[in-house]
Amino acid sequence: MSLSGAHNDRGEVKVRDSLDDLSTELADYIAELSEASVKERGVFAIALSGGSLVSLMGKLCEAPYNKTVDWSKWYIFWADERVVAKNHTDSNYKLAKDGLLSKVPIVPSHVHSINDSVSAEEAADEYEFAIRQLVKTRVVSVSDNSDCPKFDLILLGMGPDGHVASLFPNHSVLNEKDEWVTFITDSPKPPPERITFTLPVINSASNVAVVVTGDSKAEAVHLAIDDVGPDCPSLPARMVQPNGKLVWFLDKPAASKLDHPHQG
Ligand SMILES: O=C1O[C@H](COP(=O)(O)O)[C@@H](O)[C@H](O)[C@H]1O
């Protein structure tokens, strides 16, 4: 069974029976956005996250996507990164390189990873500076409402606590309005030092997809998507309210606590 539908104002919710079906749906979605963006702008600026998302993107390395996607037009960024060496097992760059980037013909100079040899604060500043240069040359588009970058697609995962990127519940960086990229040194999930896109950047994207699997995340999915009333917690995932299009990719266990899991 495959379900898909609009869910209040929290975007489109796609629920798939198996991880295999979910991966195929995700690969189709990314490939379609890539094609549309290359047609419209000549490039595709995509920001990745780490965690379980990357293995769910694995189908992109297989036929037909490995041949049909115009990889030469892809520019890769990270919505969040752990401030560790690039060959460290905690590195989101390493995860993406091993699982995706080394298997498709991405242009190496289009891969924009952080400087891993400076402090978290400097890494965040340098990363924002690099993105600012690419906004000037329109490799990354600019928001219609602010000076924020408008990524063609930002891919997010979500933790059981409702964190997205490295924006954790009740953390002061959730209030950051001015910076595009900020840093934390007290992540509740190791490693502690991370850089992260801020909410204004995430919410300026043309498309945001949140990819969530497993029953340990079902409660957070419910709180992030359903109409939970005035007591609705300021869950980071619920604060993802992009100007562009929001799509949730869920397996059945992750969707199991939604009020209307079969909506649409
Ligand atoms: O620490 C992180 O966690 C989230 C969620 O990871 P998951 O393995 O539970 O899917 C991830 O999206 C983020 O990029 C990462 O740094």
In angstroms, the CA 71 to CA 58 distance is: 15
Residue 253 lies in a domain: no
Q: Is pLDDT above 70 for 1?
A: no
Element (H or E) spanning 10, and its range? Answer: none
Per residue in 93-111, pLDDT tens? 999 999 999 999 999 999 9
| 44 within 8 A of 76, measured Cβ to Cβ | no
Structure confidence at residue 234 as a pLDDT band (50, 70, 90): confident
Per residue in 131-143, pLDDT tens? 999 999 999 999 9
Q: What is the pTM of this model?
A: 0.96
Q: Is pLDDT above 50 for 84?
A: yes
Q: Is pLDDT above 80 for 214?
A: yes
The ipTM assigned to this model is 0.99
What is the chain's mean pLDDT, rounded?
A: 95
Average pLDDT score over residue span 246-255: 98
- Ligand 1: which of 19, 26, 166, 181 to mutate, judged by most atoms within 8 Å of the beta carbon? 166
Query: Looking at the 3D structure of the chain, how many domains does it have?
Result: 1
Q: Assign 45 to helix, strand or coil.
A: strand
Residue 78 lies in a domain: yes
Residue 255 lies in a domain: no
Nearby residues of 39 by Cβ (< 8 Å), 6 or more positions away? none
Residue 200 lies in a domain: yes
What CATH code is carried by the domain that includes residue 35? Answer: 3.40.50.1360
Residue 214 lies in a domain: yes
- Whether ligand 1 lies within 6 angstroms of the CB of 51 is answered as yes
What is the domain extent for residue 151?
Answer: 2-248
In angstroms, the CA 143 to CA 175 distance is: 19
Where do runs of H (alpha helix) occur along the chain?
A: 19-41, 53-56, 65-68, 92-99, 120-136, 199-202, 218-225, 252-255
Q: Is pLDDT above 80 for 7?
A: no
Average pLDDT score over residue span 5-31: 90
**CA-closest candidate to residue 208, choices 154, 158, 141:** 154
pLDDT computed for residue 2 by the predictor: 47
Residue 7 lies in a domain: yes
Whole-number Å distance, alpha carbon 264 to ligand 1 midpoint, is: 28
